[in-house]
Structure 1
Amino acid sequence: MAIVWLLIIGAAAGFFATRIMNIQANVVTTVAIGIGGALIGGLVVRMLLTAMGMLGGLIGAVLGALVLIWLWQTYVGR
């Protein structure tokens, strides 16, 4: 089922991409362009989400440390 879904999404993506770039291509080429674009785009998006996930973890860790410092100063530092 995943292959069928990839073909459908690839065909749609290839259709839109060929129309945006004003390229005349047959159906097989359009689907191949779409599938290739989906694979490349999927990898790029996955890398961006991973990098942002790491950054989000760092931000969360800093915020957590700030809360701990505030709690320490408020209740233990007295």
Structure 2
Amino acid sequence: MGLVFLVIVGTAAGFLATRLMRIDTDVPTTIVIGVAGALIGGFLLRGLVLITSWLAGLVGAILGAIVLIWLYKIYIAR
């Protein structure tokens, strides 16, 4: 199912990309361009989401530590 979806989305993306870039290609070339673009875009987006989620976890950990230090200063370290 994933491969079929990739080919369908890649074909549509290739068609739109070739029209936006105003190049005339045959159908197989359009499909190859679209599928390759979908693969590259998918890998880039997956990497971006991975990095973003890692950074969000880091920011969350820092904020959590700040809150704990604040609570420590108020209630324990008197």
Indicate whether the TM-score tops 0.5. Answer: yes
Give the CA deviation at 1:40: 0.4
Give the CA deviation at 1:53: 1.4
Compute the TM-score of the two structures, normalised by the length of structure 2.
Answer: 0.93
Give the corresponding residue for 2:42: 42
Q: How many residues align?
A: 78
Give the corresponding residue for 1:68: 68
Tell me how far apart the structure 2 counterparts of residues 68 and 28 of structure 1 sit (CA, whole Å): 59
SS in structure 2 at match of 1:69:
helix
Q: Structure 1 residue runs of 4+, over 4 Å off?
A: none
Tell me how far apart the structure 2 counterparts of residues 58 and 5 of structure 1 sit (CA, whole Å): 34
Structure 1 residues 12-64: Cα deviation after superposition (integer angstroms, max 9, x where no partner): 10011101111111111111101000000111111111111111111011100
Write the mapping of 1:7-26 to structure 2, written as runs, cut at 5 A: 7-26=7-26
CA RMSD of aligned residues (A): 0.9
